[in-house]
């Protein structure tokens, strides 16, 4: 029964794409991974060929497919202060090859995001505390969740966090959306302010094998302090990352840095291909929206059609 489940098939496809040894005992292509010289207590750290991986996960053009089969992505984020982040995440998913990109944001952010590109489908349904009376919170929260649920089953992946902000009411609403996505077995990428949300509520991603966390140096530090109750240990970075994944349970973490470290709690992969040395706002949103969300969308497509 488990072997026929969508979650298992997604994981199998991910292993075939990224892991040095496939679940069925086969070997991954040497063009996508090669052993790294560094060995950790949990096993060897493998160096990923970033270009080969990106080529593998980018949806190919196929005349037999129809709109939506190359990926339907939803971005949960965007408030009156931050409209660029959800745009970067949503538009980059389209640029990499996804067919449809939705943005669920606050009303104040919607018009701005709509003006950036006619390609994006924008849902102005989220609310912040300043626009909701205390006696309305429960009904408004229920209404927001009901509106998202109408769309949720259509998505191959959701990205939570770009431009979300830290408003308490908005955070509570997004937490409810994440719970429903988990019940519906929708892969979830957590970035930006979404990481602030789950750091304070680990249960939202605990034991969820379809969750990917993409923390930067500060977000990773907060996660380590919260979950492992210690400081970041750079000398044993791969072991600590593996321990963090295992402690949360099931999640995959991509620790962004000079060399990115990726682990599912079982093995560690390193990507040390250098990009721009400039570290400006929006780069993480492009990463989570393009490569990671489209990868998960492809896994979802694989689980349905193969």
Known binding residue 6? Answer is no
Known binding residue 282? Answer is yes
Known binding residue 49? Answer is no
Helices (H), the chain: 6-18, 50-57, 84-96, 107-116, 137-152, 168-183, 193-199, 217-227, 237-248, 283-287, 293-305
Known binding residue 108? Answer is no
Determine contact, residues 198/204, Cβ cutoff 8 Å: yes
Instruction: From residue 135, give the alpha-carbon distance in Å to each of 119, 138, 140, 180.
Output: 37, 7, 10, 24
- What SS3 state is found at 235? coil
What's the token pair of residue 264? Answer: 């599912």
Known binding residue 260? Answer is yes
Residue 184 CB partners (closer than 8 Å, separation 6+): 152, 153
Determine contact, residues 60/258, Cβ cutoff 8 Å: no
Known binding residue 206? Answer is no
- What SS3 state is found at 172? helix
Known binding residue 284? Answer is yes
Known binding residue 226? Answer is no
Determine contact, residues 295/54, Cβ cutoff 8 Å: no
Known binding residue 10? Answer is no
Known binding residue 129? Answer is no
Known binding residue 247? Answer is no
Known binding residue 256? Answer is yes
Q: Quick one: residue 100, left, alpha or beta (phi over 0 = left, psi -120 to 50 = alpha)?
A: beta
Known binding residue 25? Answer is no
Residue 133 CB partners (closer than 8 Å, separation 6+): none
Known binding residue 280? Answer is yes
Length of the chain: 306
Known binding residue 114? Answer is no
| Nearest Cα to Cα of residue 188 among 29, 73, 89, 87 | 73
Known binding residue 225? Answer is no
Known binding residue 72? Answer is no
Known binding residue 259? Answer is yes
Known binding residue 218? Answer is yes
Known binding residue 193? Answer is no
Q: Is residue 137 classed exposed, middle or buried when 0-12, 13-18 and 19+ CB atoms within 10 A define those classes?
A: middle
**Tokens 């930067």, residue located:** 216
Known binding residue 216? Answer is yes
> Could you tell me which residues are annotated as the binding site?
163, 216-222, 256-260, 275-285
> Could you tell me which residues are annotated as the binding site for ATP?
256-260, 275-284
> Could you tell me which residues are annotated as the binding site for (6S)-NADPHX?
163, 216-222, 285
């Amino acid at each position: 029964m488990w072997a026929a489940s969508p979650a298992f098939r997604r994981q199998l496809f991910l292993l075939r794409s990224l892991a040095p040894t496939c679940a069925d005992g086969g070997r991954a292509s040497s063009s996508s991974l090669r052993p790294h010289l560094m060995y950790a207590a949990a096993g060897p750290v493998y160096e990923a060929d970033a270009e080969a991986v990106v080529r593998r996960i980018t949806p190919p053009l196929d005349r037999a497919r129809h709109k939506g089969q190359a990926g339907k992505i939803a971005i949960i984020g965007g408030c009156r202060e931050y409209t660029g982040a959800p745009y970067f995440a949503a538009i980059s998913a389209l640029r990499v090859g996804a067919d449809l990109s939705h943005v669920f944001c606050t009303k104040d952010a919607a018009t701005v995001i709509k003006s950036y590109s006619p390609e994006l489908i924008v849902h102005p349904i989220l609310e912040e505390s300043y626009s909701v009376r205390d006696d309305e919170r429960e009904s408004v929260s229920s209404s927001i969740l009901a509106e998202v649920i109408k769309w949720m089953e259509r998505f191959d992946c959701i990205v939570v966090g770009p431009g979300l902000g830290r408003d308490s009411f908005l955070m509570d609403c997004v937490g409810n959306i994440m719970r429903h996505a988990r019940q519906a077995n929708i892969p979830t990428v957590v970035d930006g302010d979404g990481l602030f949300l789950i750091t304070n509520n680990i249960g939202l991603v605990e034991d969820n094998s379809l969750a990917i966390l993409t923390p930067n140096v500060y977000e990773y530090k907060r996660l380590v302090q919260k979950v492992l109750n210690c400081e970041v240990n750079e000398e044993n970075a791969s072991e600590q990352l593996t321990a963090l994944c295992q402690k949360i349970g099931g999640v995959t973490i991509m620790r962004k840095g000079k060399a990115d470290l990726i682990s599912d709690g079982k093995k560690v992969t390193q990507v040390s291909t250098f990009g721009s040395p400039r570290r400006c706002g929006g780069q993480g949103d492009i990463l989570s929206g393009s490569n990671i969300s489209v990868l998960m969308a492809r896994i979802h497509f694989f689980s349905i059609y193969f």
